[in-house]
Structure 1
Amino acid sequence: MSLIRVENLTFSYPSSYDNIFEEVSFQIDTDWKLGFIGRNGRGKTTFLHLLLGKYEYRGRIQASVAFDYFPYPVSDKSRMTAEVLSEVCPQAEEWELLREMSGLEVSAEALWRPFSTLSNGEQTKVLLAALFLQDRHFLLIDEPTNHLDARGREIVSAYLKRKKGFILVSHDRCFLDGCVDHILSINRSKIEVQSGNFSSWFTNFERRQAFERGENEKRKKEIAELQKAARRTAGWSEQIEASKYGTSPVDRGFIGHKSAKMMKRAKSIEARRQRAAEERAGLLQDAETAEELKLFPLTYVSDRLVTFAQVEPVYDGAGICGPVSFEIKRGERIVLDGRNGAGKTSLLKLLMKQPIAYRGTLTIGSGLILSYVPQDTSGLRGLLSDFAAEHHIDESLFKAILRKMGFTRVQFEKKMEDFSAGQKKKALLAKSLCEQAHLYVWDEPLNYIDIDSRIQIEQLIRKFSPTMIFVEHDQAFRNAVATRTISL
Structure 2
Amino acid sequence: MSMIQISDLTFSYDTSFDYIFEHVSFQIDTDWKLGFTGRNGRGKTTFLKLLMGEYEYRGSIAASVKFDYFPYPVKDPTALTVDVLESVDPQYELWKVMKEMSQLGVPDEVLYRPFQTLSNGEQTKVLLAVLFGKENNFLLIDEPTNHLDAEARRKVGAYLNSKKGFILVSHDRAFLDECTDHVLSVNRTEIEVQKGNFSSWYENKLLRDQYELSENEKLKKEIGRLLKSQRRTEGWSDQVEKTKRGTRNSGLRPDRGFIGHKAAKMMKRSKAAETRKEDAVKEKSKLLKNIETSEALKISPLEHHAKRLAVLEDVSISYGSKIVTENLSFDIEKGDRIALVGKNGCGKSSVLKLLLGKAVDHEGYLYKANGLRISYVPQNTDGLKGDLREYAYNCGIDESLFKTILRKLDFSRIQFEKKIEEFSEGQKKKVLIAGSLCEQAHLYLWDEPLNYIDVFSRIQIEELLKNSGITLLFVEHDLAFCNQIKTKEILMQ
- Choose from 364, 385, 390 the match for 2:368: 364
Q: CA deviation at 1:404?
A: 0.3
**Partner residue of 2:396 out of 392, 397, 415:** 392
Aligned: 1:448 with 2:440:
no
Partners of 2:444 and 2:472 within 8 A in 1? yes
In the alignment, is residue 18 of structure 1 matched against residue 18 of structure 2? yes
CA contact (8 A) 1:372 1:432 kept: yes
Distance in 1, matches of 2:375 and 2:79, equals 41
> Any idea what SS the aligned residue of 1:379 has?
coil
Letter of the structure 1 residue corresponding to residue 113 of structure 2? R
Residue of structure 1 equivalent to 2:59? 59
Within 2, Cα distance between the matches of 1:89 and 1:164? 20
Deviation at 1:16, TM superposition (A): 0.5
Residues 269-288 of structure 1 aligned to structure 2 (within 5 Å): 269-288=273-292
User: How far has the Cα of 1:93 moved from its partner?
Assistant: 2.3
Please name the residue that 2:4 is paired with. 4
Deviation at 1:317, TM superposition (A): 2.6
Contact 1:124 1:147 in 2 (8 A): no
Distance 2:117 2:381 in 1: 24
State the partner residue of 1:176. 176
1:30 corresponds in structure 2 to 30
Quick check: 1:89–1:133 contact (8 Å CA) kept in 2? Answer: no
Give, in angstroms, the shift of residue 32 of structure 1. Answer: 0.2
Displacement of 1:259: 1.5
Q: 1:228 — aligned with what?
A: 228
Question: What displacement does 1:342 show?
Answer: 0.7
> When the two structures are superposed, what TM-score results if normalisation uses the length of structure 2?
0.98
Contact 2:146–2:451 (8 Å) recurs in 1:
yes
**Deviation beyond 6 Å, 4+ runs, structure 1:** none
Is 1:121 aligned with 2:121? yes
> Given that residues 373 and 441 in structure 2 are in contact (C-alpha distance below 8 angstroms), is that contact kept between their aligned partners in structure 1?
yes
Q: Distance in 2 between matches of 1:209 and 1:147?
A: 33
Determine whether 1:354 maps to 2:358.
yes
Q: How is 1:59-458 mapped onto 2 (pairs within 5 angstroms)?
A: 59-247=59-247, 248-458=252-462
Normalising by structure 1, report the TM-score.
0.99
Segments of 5+ residues of structure 2 without an aligned counterpart are none
Classify the secondary structure of the residue corresponding to 1:7.
strand
CA RMSD of aligned residues (A): 0.9
1:212 counterpart letter in structure 2 = E
Return the match for 1:459 from 455, 463, 468. 463
CA contact (8 A) 2:315 2:325 kept: no
User: Gapped runs of 5+ residues in structure 1?
Assistant: none
Contact 1:212 1:283 in 2 (8 A): yes
SS in 2 for 1:380: coil
Map Cα deviations across residues 367-387 of structure 1 (whole Å, 9 max, x no partner): 111111011211111111111
**Superposed counterparts of 1:465-476, under 5 Å:** 465-476=469-480
- In the TM superposition, residue 222 of structure 1 has moved relative to its aligned partner by 0.4
Distance in 1, matches of 2:95 and 2:452, equals 35
Shift of residue 301 of structure 1? 1.2
Pair 1:46 & 2:46 matched? yes
Query: What CA distance in whole angstroms lies between the structure 2 residues aligned with 1:25 and 1:235?
Result: 49
The alpha carbon displacement at 1:147 in A equals: 2.6
Partner SS for 1:155: helix
Rounded Cα–Cα distance in structure 1 between residues aligned with 2:56 and 2:366 = 56
Say whether the 8 Å CA contact 2:147–2:451 is kept in structure 1. Answer: no
- Tell me the amino acid that sits aligned with residue 441 of structure 2: A
- Name the SS for the 1:323 alignment partner: strand
| CA displacement, residues 421-467 of structure 1 (integer Å, 9 cap, x when unaligned) | 11111011001111111111000000110000000000001111211
Instruction: State the distance in 1 between where 2:53 and 2:190 align.
Output: 21
Aligned partner of residue 134 in structure 2, secondary structure: coil
- CA–CA separation in structure 2 for the residues paired with 1:314 and 1:78: 25
TM-aligned CA deviation for residue 94 of structure 1: 1.9
Is the Cα contact below 8 Å between 1:331 and 1:466 reproduced in 2? Answer: yes
Take 1:147 and 1:435, find their aligned partners in 2: how far apart are those partners?
25
> What secondary structure sits across from 1:426 in the alignment?
helix
Task: Determine the C-alpha separation between the residues in 1 that align with 2:392 and 2:92.
Answer: 51
